[in-house]
A and B are shown apart, each in its own frame.
Chain A
Amino acid sequence: MKRFMCMIVGVVFLLGLLTSMTFGAPREITFWLMPNAPDDVHTVWLDNKVAEFQKQTGITVHYEVIGWGDAWTRLVTAITGGEGADVVQVGTTWNPQLAAMKGLVKLDPAEFGGIDAFMPANYESTTYKGESYGVPWFAETRCLFYNKDHFAEAKVQPPSTYDELVAVGNALVKARGQGTAIAIAGNQAWDLLHNWAILLWAWGGDLVSPDLKKATFNSPEGIEAMDWYVDLVRDGLASKSCAEYNQPDADAAFINGNVSMAFMGPWNIANIEHDNPALNYGVVEPPKGPKARAAFSGGSNLAVLTGSRAQDDAKAWIKFLLKKDSLVSYSSELTHMLPGTVEAFDDSAFSTEMYKPFKVALEYATAYPPLGVWGTIENDITVAFKAIFTDYVTGKLGAGGVKKHLDDAAQRVDAALKTEK
């Protein structure tokens, strides 16, 4: 009897222990994000939001800020290993790739306010094979910044078409000197494709066919659009040095007041306020091309890793971050990006003269096709783009040079598209 009682006590104790381990375990999730704002303000904002969320839900969020350079490897390692984080920030072009790796949880947009709650191109970037694997967090697009003082000196107005941009550029060169009209990104820009894609679309071309089976960027429209970009240097509107620029180099040339125009993102408004507040500048939408006015839609989404053991808590954190007040303060005060939801976008913070062109451009902006093999494709096109610039700088870009490089890239992209499952 005594032994039986001891067994009962033992079993009850063990059950109690297991129960306490299961139900008493604190609810915790891990959140990986990128350095979207300067550390001092970013950390304060995140700490406040984490505390607010914990108070509301009892869920503790451990966040880790990871540099863009390391983020891809960390995400891939987490997906392969099955653990690491619950909620992750992913670049819009990464979203389909990570979904193709079966690394992201399929999300029902209805749970987050429905498809119409988001900017269309940004919602599209969360999809892969028609299903959604993320939620837009913040968006970016690029517009034309111009120096009002330089424009007054050359007696010109901001261009509304690409032909006008060239005419305005020539007037600026006449007034201020060779290579000072515009700064453009060159061979060291990892995001070089964004600069050409908006031209390609404006000229009526596209990167791949509608069925996503074939490369189409080597079309006559693509060649013309590429020639237009190289002509900026060839005709002396942009400095030959641009061939070795990355995007921040081009941005700095405008912000320092050395050049009169540059295509830049909304985060540069904060950079100008910080680095050169005296700069007298304006922002206009990307000019209209021969066929259309086009803009690039980028930014970041929030996603849940398949290895997450707290997927409901992870979704709760995403919903919390998408609340209007969170999104407006994060976008307008910290990241200087544009919010991913329509509700936050309508806030007065984004109705200022500087933000207005971005807001309008984002409404017709295009996202890159949601392909698993997008990384390979972007790499192949960028390699061709850089080869064209290199050939131009070294004097080897003959009459058919642009076409040859784009055809080579198209062959590689066709091969990559065949591997898309």
Chain B
Amino acid sequence: MKIASGWSRRRQTIAYWMILPAIAAMLLVHYIPMLWGFYISMHDVNLFTMVDWINAPFVGFRNFIDGFNPATTTGARALKALQNITIYSVVAISAGYVIGLAVALLLNQEFVGRTFMRGLILLPYITPDCVAFNVWKFIFQSRIGILNRYLVQWNLVPEPPIWLVGPPALWAVTIASIWKGWPFAALILLAALQKIPPELYEAARVDGATAWQQFTMITIPQLRTVSVMLLLMSILWNFNAFNQFFIMLGRDPGIAAEVPSTLILREAFTSLKYGIGSALSIVIMLILLVITAVYLYALRGTAGVEEM
């Protein structure tokens, strides 16, 4: 007994040493900068104070109040950015999941060239963001874009719409993001589909279950664990979306398509209001923490979530 507990302690010590480099890296790359970010958000760090930013005047929560005060341009933009990113995330995640699931179900069938097709669907996902979103920018361009060319050619619109300015810009970016994102959902869901024991379907068929009943009573419950993880990751990624907005709409996408990441970029690095930029970042981080906590709490009964 004594030998066993000694071994157990030693194993624990070894385990701690093994994870130490990862913890050190996390501290240096994530947690310490986050603490600095929090420090900056409570201080008036701007153009004139940034060289000696550690001694910048303490302003308490003023940056948070200014950053979200609807009476100010920044505050109004911040609130609109939160609304926009919520709409964008809900649509992009839902559509990406539905398309991904449909494609995964198709690719889970036996047919010639299945392996090739599995590789092919990953093409949008592995295309670098700057390439993919620049191509989408061209597609949506009003004068030379291929979309307007066909819309006009088929007499669907009287004159070429302007997609990348005003409210349509948000939808243009959402469509491009769905195109870029669904293959990842398909890949993950396909892997999960392949882990479902075929015996479950065989038994269901013997019992006379229809294809729909098999889908809703076997496939969906069996995908639950993976779906929970997939949706959580998608929420985190989409809420922080930056590349697609920056590439397709530029540094200032306009209020109708503003998202938190572009606003933070401009406040911090164009207007040099680092305090407000940090305050906005902290709030976004807290929102994501709350979403994650609520999501995990709501799905606490789901297998796999407890392990996270």
- A residues at B contact (CB < 8 Å): 72-73, 76, 79-80, 97, 100-103, 186-188, 190, 239-241, 243-244, 246, 372-373, 375-376, 379-380, 382-383, 386-387, 389-390, 393-394, 408, 412, 419, 421
Contact = CB atoms under 8 A, between A and B. Distances in A.
Interface in B38-53: 46-48, 50-51, 53
Given A100-B48, A244-B162, 11 more contacts: A97-B272, A103-B51, A187-B254, A240-B160, A241-B143, A241-B160, A376-B271, A386-B252, A387-B254, A390-B256, A393-B162
A314 B250 CA distance: 36
Interface in B43-67: 46-48, 50-51, 53
Interface of B: 46-48, 50-51, 53, 73, 141-143, 159-160, 162-167, 249-252, 254-256, 266, 269-273
Given A97-B47, A379-B270, A387-B255, A187 B143 contact: no
Contacts of B73: 380, 383, 408, 412
B47 A373 contact: yes
A70 to B, nearest CB: 11
Contact of B252 (A382, A394, A408, A412): A382
B51 to A, nearest CB: 5
Nearest to B142: A241
Contact of B142 (A244, A376, A383, A412): A244
Given A72-B269, A97-B272, A241-B142, A79 B166 contact: no
B165 A372 contact: no
A62 B73 CA distance: 44
Nearest to B53: A80
Contacts of B143: 239, 241
B48 A372 contact: yes
11 contacts: A79-B51, A239-B142, A240-B159, A240-B162, A241-B142, A241-B162, A244-B164, A244-B165, A372-B47, A372-B48, A390-B254
A14 B246 CA distance: 57
Given A80-B50, A239-B143, A390-B256, A375 B272 contact: yes
A357 to B, nearest CB: 28
A376 B266 CA distance: 9
A375 B47 contact: yes
Given A375-B271, A379-B271, A383-B73, A393 B165 contact: yes
B165 A243 contact: yes
A376 B46 CA distance: 11
Contacts of B47: 97, 100-101, 372-373, 375
A101 B51 contact: yes
A243 B249 CA distance: 12
A257 B91 CA distance: 41
Contacts of A76: 50, 269
Given A376-B272, A387-B254, A408-B73, A243 B48 contact: no
